A and B are shown apart, each in its own frame.
Chain A
Amino acid sequence: MKKSRHVLILTLLVVALLPLGAIVPAVAQEPVTLRITNWAGVQEAAEFQQIVDEVNANNTEFQIVYEPKPDDYYTQLQTQLAGGTAPDLFWLDQDHMAWAYDGVLLDISEYLANDDRDVANPEDYFPGVWQTVALNDGVFGLPWIAQPVVLYYNRDIFDAMGVEYPTADWTWDDFKAAAEALTTEEHYGFTLNGWPPIHMFIWSFGGEVISEDLKTSPIDTPEAIAGAQFYADMIYNPACCPTQEVLAEEGFAEMFKAGRVAMFMGGAADDLDRVEGLNVGVSPVPKGVNGENVTFAWTAATVINAKTEHPDLAYEALVQLTEGIHHWKIVSPRVSQATVEHLVASEPRKEANAEPILAAVPYMRAFRIVPRFAEWSQIFWEDFQDPLFHGEDTAENLAADARILLEDVLGD
């Protein structure tokens, strides 16, 4: 009796599984499923889904399934990559493009060479942005955004203080003088807290933090020291900027929004020019020693998992998605799309400030990505920037010591 019951249970289990077996060949005839993930929150994910839907509607060979991961994105993604369950495509910001050196991203350089679409043309991307994907003798993704840092300024404070509005011709000395002139008991001229990155100031003063061949960190050159010292002289200095305590108390960008800071450097897509009750203008950042308004660009790319089972289709999906994103996110990283018309079509609310934003675009630069970039950045912060901002030693001494440590990372 008992034996027959066991046989019955096993038979039932097998029967229950039969429909699933039947599904397998049925699914195999469907278009290939490609998975994509990114860090988008609810609103951004809904907008991204629309782009995915448009791509899906125009394809019969593949269909993209979108899996947003708004929390703890990189830990989840690393774990998926290690476990072999990562999606076919995913977003990486420039800081994480160093994963290209670990072999987890697909090199698409051959695909690009055989593709004549504009979105697949490396020449159509701003070089300062393209360098974040052109790594290790390959190309590991397509940039989908390049947000240059621009100077937001509160016109009302400028008018009240009788200071001329910023222009692209301002030098850093003009900028500093204005920041000091705009500082009163009610408001500060400018604000820094580690943002924007000190790299931007070093570049603008003619220095480099990582050399072009990625082998050295010449942060102790007179140019680099000058840029870093300029930053250190302003940050937390109550003659022009809020102290650390005031920032802890009132917030960083919040102070600009509250009319407590006259000038703020933020990303071009930030909404600081649309704060209710504020009359805000936008200008490129001051020009540097070579006469260019060198600025930092926050960039990110869509990349392909090196272990995707469908590299050809994944590449096709990448290209079509990227084209869609370039009509959604500002600023597009492509030269051919650096026009007022394109920017306004992507984000109509930026119409009033489209021109100064586009004036900043040709001079934007992203980080140079090296293997172990996270470790390099941690040392650069802990052993150079942070002690410099707190006056623990001179810029020269700190730079000399930090360079040794940074080049240890680059040299391995």
Chain B
Amino acid sequence: MTGDPGAFATYYPTLLRYVGVAVGLGILMYGLYRLLRLAGVKHEPATGFTLVVPWIVGFLIFVTFPIGLSFYLSFTEYNILWDRPKPLADPLFNYKRALSIRIVELPEGERPIQVLGTMEGETPETVRYREIGRFHWRGKEYVIGATDGYFLKGVWLTLRYAVLSVPLGMVGALGVALLLNQNVKGVGFWRTLYYLPAVLPAAAVALLWYWLFAPSSGLVNWFLSPIYRLLDMQPLGWFTDKSLVLPSFIIMGLWGIFGANTVILLAGLKNIPKDLYEAAAIDGAGTFTKFRHITIPMLSPALFYNLVTNTIAALTIFTQQAFIPTDRQDGWFVNWFIYNEAFNFGRMGYASALGWMLALLVILLTLLIFRSSAAWVFYEGARQEAGGA
């Protein structure tokens, strides 16, 4: 604040720390360089290693350490406000809490919460099974209970979002890339225009869509108002109507068609040799045949890259939901759910376990995509090495 006599006194320790870190890194770099030179490493590689030291130190402190710490915390009970985590009697409690399911018979007249009971074993707090579904079998009614149905609901919502939004987005991006690959007037302008969404902050984009989907004043419902009048129906409650939450997020996610996705596919299209199309044309191939047998295979490495990155992005969606509130009962994306457990309910240990489970899910699905690539991704270099084309 202006004229505040204590302002410098407040900030000088921070300034000192900054300078201290810079000097420390400088000494470390200098020491490493001398060490490498003494060990006989030539000037150029020694300089290279020295210059990456700040990055490696930053990576170890800001990435490796938190990853390791979150893994440790996932086996503890920890609130961010506490000085230190508390050990759990059952170290796997956080993982069990997220995934435990129980099916019990529901006697007539009883309510599910009365028959489902609580999680067994030594738990730091009472964890109750809550109904997530019912079914009939051989004349009896059964109830399915989960210790954290909201998490399971979140996983289901996130998976559906990924499965629906990623292919839709890729098809859209391919379509835009094909259009931008045409030799039309002012193509540079169009390419710049279609890349612009990529430079906008995700938070701003989320708010923009929230306004577009506003029930009364939103542009989407304004465009649809003639249809509403024709069918005599109420305007759709995007993001507020339970059944429209997922479609709303998917439509919003299609924004990702533009930007990096399109640019990568466009670069891929530019790399396809013209002579392949010419040879196919001489053989009498039509537009679709050329697209199916030349464009798609030659573009498959770029499509593969987009598939992997888009799948990871879809499974870890966060910003959009942070700015567009929806009810937890309707499902929260897993990352948002984790954030709430950590910061609103003070369960950092549990949130860490959920984070690791999400990481595992992402790794598994990514590996699956990698395994599938042998069947559909065409690497020209690999074929040539194998004595093919």
A250 CA / B215 CA spacing, docked (Å): 10
Are the CB atoms of B81 and A99 closer together than 8 Å?
Answer: yes
Q: Across the interface, which residues of B come within 8 angstroms of A30, CB to CB?
A: 5-6, 9
Taking a contact as CB atoms under 8 Å apart, the answer to whether A63 and B329 are in contact is no
Residues of A within 8 A of B (CB): 6, 10, 13, 16-17, 20, 23-24, 27, 30-31, 33, 35, 49, 56, 63-66, 74-75, 78-79, 81-82, 99, 102-104, 245, 248-250, 372, 374-375, 378, 382, 386, 397, 400-401, 404-405, 408-409, 411-412
Residues in B with CB closer than 8 Å to A13 are 23, 26
A250→B216 contact, CB < 8 A: yes
Contact of A65 among B4, B26, B114, B327 (CB under 8 A): B4
Instruction: Tell whether, in the assembled complex, residue B128 and residue A382 are in contact, meaning their CB atoms are under 8 Å apart.
Output: no
Is B215 touching A382 in the complex (CB atoms < 8 A)?
no
Q: Which residues of A contact B327 (CB under 8 A)?
A: 382, 386
Contact of A249 with B80 at beta-carbon distance under 8 Å, contacts A35-B10, A372-B346, A404-B128 already known: no
Q: Mark B202-217, 1 if CB is under 8 A from A, else 0.
A: 0000000000000110
Known: A65-B1, A405-B113. A249 touches B216 (CB 8 A): yes
Nearest CB on A from B101, distance (A): 18
Residues of A within 8 A of B270 (CB): none
B16 at the interface (CB under 8 A from A): yes
**Residue contact B125 to A102, C-beta cutoff 8 Å:** no
Which of B19, B82, B215 touches A249 (beta carbons < 8 Å)?
B215
Q: Residues 66-110 of chain B: 1 if any A CB is under 8 Å from the residue's CB, otherwise 0?
A: 000000000000011111000000000000000000000000000
Q: Does B382 contact A (CB under 8 A)?
A: no
Q: How far is the CA of A228 from the CA of B15 in the complex (A)?
A: 56
Residue from A6, A17, A372, A409 within 8 A of B19 (CB atoms): A17
Q: How far is the CA of A37 from the CA of B83 in the complex (A)?
A: 21
CB distance from B142 to the nearest CB of A (A): 18
B7 on the A face (CB < 8 A): yes
Closest to A251 in B: B216
Judge whether B62 is part of the interface by a CB distance below 8 angstroms.
no
Known: A372-B346, A408-B128. 4 other contacts (CB 8 A): A27-B12, A66-B4, A103-B82, A248-B237
Most buried by A among B4, B82, B111, B215: B4
Query: Would A20 and B12 be within 8 Å (CB), given that A372-B346, A408-B126, A412-B126 are in contact?
Result: yes
- Give B336-371 as 1s and 0s: 1 = Cβ < 8 Å from A's Cβ atoms: 000000011110000000000000000000000000
> How many B residues touch A, CB cutoff 8 Å?
40
B240 within 8 A of A: yes
Quote the shortest CB–CB distance from A381 to chain B (angstroms): 9
* Contact present for A23 and B216 (CB under 8 Å): no
User: When each residue 108-134 of chain B gets 1 if its CB lies under 8 Å from chain A and 0 otherwise, what string results?
Assistant: 000101100010000011101000000
User: In the complex the two chains form, is B1's CB within 8 Å of A66's CB?
Assistant: yes
Asked whether B65 is an interface residue with its Cβ less than 8 Å from the other chain, the reply is no
Q: Which of A30, A56, A65 is the most central at the interface, judged by chain B CB atoms within 10 Å of its CB?
A: A65
| Contacts A374-B345, A400-B111, A405-B128 given; does A65 touch B79 at CB 8 Å | no
B23 in contact with A23 (CB, 8 Å): no
Tell me which residues across on chain B come within 8 A of A397, comparing CB atoms. Answer: 111
**What's the Cα separation between A409 and B82 when bound, in Å?**
19
Whether A102 contacts B81 in the complex (CB less than 8 A), given A248-B215, A397-B111, comes out as yes
Complex CA gap A349/B18 in Å reads 49
The answer to whether B55 has its CB under 8 Å from any CB of chain A is no
B8 an interface residue at 8 Å Cβ cutoff? yes
